[in-house]
Amino acid sequence: MRVLLAGANGAIGRLLVPLLLNAGHDVVGSSRSDAGVAAIRAAGADAVRLDVFDRASTLRALAATRPEAVIHQLTALGERRFDQNARIRREGTRNLVDGSLKAGAGRIVAQSISWVYAAGEAPATEDEPLDLAREGLVGPAMALESAAAEFERHVVLRYGLLYGPGTWYFPGAWAAGQLRAGQLTAGAAVSSFVHVADAAVAALLALDWPDGVVNVVDDEPAPAREWVPVLASALGEPAPEVTAGLSAGLSAGASADASVGREGWERGACNAKARALGWAPDWPTWRTGFPALAGAS
């Protein structure tokens, strides 16, 4: 299949290029820069230059590329620019989707997030309600998801927190700095993680999955008091004291669920659907995945 991989130089994208090529796809990766285009070509794929905030040139680039499928892995999260990231989800996705549909693409696989669900006690399944009150986070993610649903065939991957090479959770990266500065709290908030290599495999497989939303998370949603010390040890950074209270949240403004010492939406997600579709992560839990990061850089 002729696949446009939007964001081919990102943490997931660069692992996904060889997976798509090995599976026999005709891959065109996107980048905004000459250096990015050169890196994609060096990885063995074709490349197209596009900035999704430039609507006219995005439409032109897609008309010239004529993909059958689009994999959307664009973010501005490498630089932790959350305002720009929301803009990518709304405006950038709109332009990417319009250009792809006009160019004749029939399917999309798009990256979303798994911490969008409303409060609950257990890890969230895909059919549970969303926490629409967290408009700043959930609104742009839902704009992305509904734009993706305009394709005849569409799969949205609600990823857990990515860890591994190129991510925030890697020796020397953002989480290491947070630990050193005493800014990560080992409290009751539950998160779901996924290794970036497993995230890339899910995007390849999703080209053949039925339409819909799929949580792509590991088997073990866990409270920060369990995973933070393991991460700190793996990254060679000091571990904070374990606390019973709220941990550093992923969004501001949500109401605290004092009875359990976490915000209600800090509950992790369930991967039963992804596993039933045949996704079998090499790193089924952060308990073994984090220690494997030790010494890498």
Ligand X SMILES: NC(=O)c1ccc[n+]([C@@H]2O[C@H](COP(=O)([O-])OP(=O)(O)OC[C@H]3O[C@@H](n4cnc5c(N)ncnc54)[C@H](OP(=O)(O)O)[C@@H]3O)[C@@H](O)[C@H]2O)c1
Applying CB under 6 A, the residues found at the interface with ligand X are 7, 9-11, 13, 31-33, 36, 50-53, 74-79, 88, 92, 113, 159, 161-162, 166-168
Q: How far apart are CA 249 and CA 80, in angstroms?
A: 15
Closer to ligand X at the Cβ: 32 or 180? 32
Closer to ligand X at the Cβ: 255 or 297? 297
Closer to ligand X at the Cβ: 160 or 240? 160
- Cβ(217)–Cβ(126) below 8 Å: no
| Smallest distance, ligand X to C-beta of residue 232, A | 17
Amino acid making up residue 135: E
Closer to ligand X at the Cβ: 84 or 242? 84
Closer to ligand X at the Cβ: 89 or 262? 89
Give me the DSSP letters along 237-294: -PPPPB-SSPPPPSSSSPPEETTTTEETT-B-B--HHHHHTT---S---HHHHTGGGT
| CA dihedral of residues 276, 278, 282, 283 (deg, nearest 10) | -20
Strands 190-191 and 222-223: antiparallel
| Smallest distance, ligand X to C-beta of residue 127, A | 20
- Cβ(100)–Cβ(62) below 8 Å: yes
Q: Which two tokens stand for residue 139?
A: 């609104």
DSSP letter, residue 105: -
Closer to ligand X at the Cβ: 27 or 161? 161
Helix axes 93-102, 135-148, angle to 10 degrees: 0
Q: How far apart are CA 27 and CA 36, in angstroms?
A: 15
Closer to ligand X at the Cβ: 239 or 250? 250
Non-local (6+) Cβ contacts of 293 within 8 A are 163, 164, 169, 170, 171, 234, 235
| Smallest distance, ligand X to C-beta of residue 32, A | 3
| Smallest distance, ligand X to C-beta of residue 203, A | 12
Closer to ligand X at the Cβ: 33 or 183? 33
| Smallest distance, ligand X to C-beta of residue 87, A | 8
Chain position carrying tokens 């109401």: 255
| Smallest distance, ligand X to C-beta of residue 92, A | 6
| Smallest distance, ligand X to C-beta of residue 106, A | 22
CA-based radius of gyration for the chain: 19
| Smallest distance, ligand X to C-beta of residue 90, A | 12
